[in-house]
Amino acid sequence: MHIHVLSLFPDMFSGVFGSSILKKAQEKQAVSLAVTDFRAYSGNKHNQVDDYPYGGGAGMVLKPEPLFQAVEAITANSKKPRIILMCPQGERFTQAKAEELALEEELVFLCGHYEGYDERIREHLVTDEISIGDFVLTGGELGAMTVIDSVVRLLPGVLGNGESPVQDSFSTGLLEHPQYTRPADFRGLKVPDVLLSGNHANIEQWRREQSLYRTWSRRPDLLVNMDLSPAEQKLMTKWENVKNN
């Protein structure tokens, strides 16, 4: 996969792209990452990429020319890359969206600043608009980093254990079960006996129940349309009765 980011502050990505899993993913040639300062496509001697909004109002708006020309330049030899606009008005980012984007060969992220984008960018240039939550940042860079990290870790061979992304929270529809490691007894705080039993069937059942309980107690909204077994529904009824008594 190739990922290209258009930003007014490319230095923000140096540490993130040069560390941890993203660095290893590039070393394994699972992904190539590039960042371009789209001021280079401003077309004016002052490198101005924003202007006052028509009709008046506070703030400045990103002009269409720099982003259109930057995207056209970096995708000249591409097929049909996904062009992603980081925007608080966009689709709420989810694990399902990360899994969808991980199937693409090329992604282009547009990171804006100021008051917003010229609407023609939204309507005629991008294929996706993504928000990482119901809040506003000073720019799209941090949001793009979040999405890129989430997508790249799903690429084949990036994580050491191929099962890791499959068992993540949200990948199964449930939050992930509790995890424990050595020592088995830390200051009197003990690892659940079932995890030390060696009985894999019992361990898997325990993990499923723990995932279900954690989701029920923390994110019940995730269970609304989930197909649960009669035994799992009975468990939730039991937890609900305990909670109400």
Catalytic positions, written as ranges? 88, 115, 153, 168
Q: CA-CA distance, 59 to 151, in Å (whole number)?
A: 32
Q: Which residues are annotated as a binding site for S-adenosyl-L-methionine?
A: 112, 132-137
Q: Is residue 121 within 8 Å of residue 85, measured between CB atoms?
A: yes
Q: CA-CA distance, 170 to 113, in Å (whole number)?
A: 30
Q: Which residues are annotated as a binding site?
A: 112, 132-137
